[in-house]
Copies of this chain bind each other. A is one copy, B any other.
Amino acid sequence: MKNFARRAAHVQPSAIRELLRLGADPEVISFGGGYPDPALFPVEELAEIYARLLRPEHAKNLQYTASNGLPELRAQVAARMTADGIDCTADDVLIIQGAQQGLDLTARLLVDPGDVIVTEDPTFLGALIAFAPTEPEYAVVGTDERGIDTDHLSDVLAANPRARLIYTMPEFQNPTGVTLSLERRHRLIELANQHDLIVLEDTPYRALRYEGTSLPTLKSLDTEGRVIHLGSFSKILAPSMRLGWVVAAPAILEKLALLKLAADTQNSTLNMAATSDYLSRYDIDAHLAQARPVYRHKRDLMLSTLAATLPAGVSYTHSEGGLFTWLAFPEGFDAGAFMADTLLPRAKVAYVPGGTFFPITQQPNHARLSFSGIDDDRLVQGITALGNLVTEHLR
């Protein structure tokens, strides 16, 4: 049979899909998925909402609706964005199938084969998966505890005239957990203006800050309409809604909306109506205020258990929010082989080996650990087993 299209060669199995499968085995203590804690889902409120929406007189909730999203939900998202410093209206908001779809649509809008996407190194694996079918090249910029290194970014942009897009997760980055400092946020916008680039700002964990002060979004600092802002209900309400949003300048949003229509017509009317209803009848900020201490506790428990059990020479990040910490093992340590050969068979513990998060040169001596959605006992048991086995392995 004839070959697939050229772009299909860039579409290969990845760690994420395997992890989604692995997460389904109840025997494995998985620190792999970026799953929110299901104990925090507002199940009873949603039960009430769906019961209200699924009455015969409301059959329209099961019908098609406007492809760019329910108008009331778009207005509610715009109001929340405005309260967060991004001055916008419903017309500036496109509802999408989780922030993941925003990654796909943005790459399709902007990237021709061979164009350069600039990312943090490491970056979100799901973004690399979304970008792959557009056949991009990558230019990468290292991060430290203040996020992406803007001095290095400046050099990288100067060296890459085909750069089209800077992709960044400014808060509690996946996988490293680091947050971009205010000074660097300003500098990043300055550099994007100077080099005429689009910035794709991905903020799935923004509302999950456990300490420190919230910083302005890149979109709120955007002086030339070149930031595409992605948000998501997955971590603040529930992943199953499959709802995210884009805020962008009108010319960009119009094209993204057309690509969205082409890709899947629209999101679920019912899930959009339910989310809109949740936002109007319940207090999502109060819900988040209850969720944060739970995650904070998990993070603290993971970090203290790592401190107690990991040997010298293994470091990990202290994230101010989000779901992750990022481990750096000594040079020469292969986190993938260690998990396959030792950690899984001997302790039934899983993480995400870090190699695949690097767009160009994979560094095998890293792992991403999520602290959410695991009860305390299993968290301590799993991390302790990890610490002991790493200690044994490095001895």
Residues of A within 8 A of B (CB): 1-2, 4-8, 11-14, 16-17, 20-21, 23-24, 33, 35-36, 38-39, 41, 43-44, 46-47, 50-51, 54-56, 58-67, 96-98, 100-101, 104, 108-112, 115, 126, 129-130, 132-134, 164, 196-198, 224, 226, 234, 238-242, 255, 257-259, 261-271
Q: Are A100 and B259 in contact (CB under 8 A)?
A: no
Contact A65 B20, CB 8 Å, known A43-B54, A47-B54, A126-B265: yes
Chain B residues with CB under 8 A of A23: 64
Residues of B within 8 A of A269 (CB): 239-240
Closest residue to A64 on the B side, CB-wise? Answer: B239
Closest to A271 in B: B268
Q: How far is the CB of A62 from chain B (nearest CB, A)?
A: 4
B-chain residues with CB within 8 Å of residue A234 when the two chains form the complex:
64
**Chain B residues with CB below 8 A from A47, complex form:** 50-51, 54-55
**Complex: how many Å from CA A59 to CA B238?**
10
Given that A54-B43, A263-B263 are contacting pairs, would A13 and B110 also be in contact in the complex, using a CB cutoff of 8 Å?
Answer: no
Which one of B56, B196, B271 lies within 8 Å of A1 (CB-CB)? B196
Q: Is the CB of B104 within 8 A of A262?
A: yes
Which of B33, B112, B129 has a CB less than 8 Å from the CB of A5?
B112
Task: A181 to B97: give the CA distance in the assembly, Å.
Answer: 38
- Does A5 contact B115, Cβ atoms closer than 8 Å? yes
User: Please, which residues of chain B bring their CB within 8 A of the CB of A108?
Assistant: 5, 7-8, 133
**Contact check: which of B12, B33, B43, B62 meets A62 at CB < 8 Å?**
B43
Q: Contacts A4-B110, A258-B12; is A266 near B238 (CB within 8 Å)?
A: no
Main secondary structure on A side of the interface with B: helix
CB closest chain-B residue, reference A265: B100
- Report Cα–Cα, A36/B62, bound state, in Å: 10
Residue pair B24, A38 in contact (C-beta under 8 Å): no
Identify the interface centre among A62, A65, A226: most chain B CB within 10 Å of its CB.
A62
Across-interface contacts of A266 in B (CB, < 8 A): 20, 242
CB-based contact A66/B238 at 8 Å: no
Q: Once the chains bind, are A63 and B239 in contact (CB under 8 Å)?
A: yes
Closest to A105 in B: B263
Residues in B with CB closer than 8 Å to A196 are: 1-2
Measured CA separation A43–B110 after assembly (Å) = 41
Contact assessment for A13 and B258 in the assembled complex, using a CB-CB cutoff below 8 Å: yes
The smallest beta-carbon distance between A53 and chain B, in angstroms, is 9
Say yes or no: A35-B6 contact (C-beta < 8 A), given A104-B262, A264-B101: no
Known: A36-B63, A43-B55, A268-B271. 15 other contacts (CB 8 A): A17-B261, A21-B66, A24-B66, A41-B62, A43-B54, A43-B58, A43-B62, A47-B50, A50-B54, A97-B264, A100-B264, A240-B269, A240-B271, A242-B264, A242-B265
Which 7 pairs across A and B sit closest by C-beta, in order of nearness? A47-B54, A62-B238, A38-B59, A97-B264, A50-B50, A240-B269, A62-B240
Minimum CB–CB distance for A97 against chain B, Å: 4
Asked if A20 meets B66 with Cβ closer than 8 Å, knowing A101-B263, A109-B4, A126-B265, the reply is yes
Bound: A14/B109 CA distance, A: 17
Among B2, B59, B112, B238, point to the contact of A39 (Cβ < 8 A): B59
Asked if residues B264 and A104 are in contact (CB atoms below 8 Å), the reply is: yes
Contact in complex: A4, B255 (CB < 8 Å)? yes
Q: Is A262 a contact of B132 with CB atoms below 8 Å?
A: yes
The distance in angstroms between the C-alpha atoms of A63 and B41, with both chains bound, is: 9
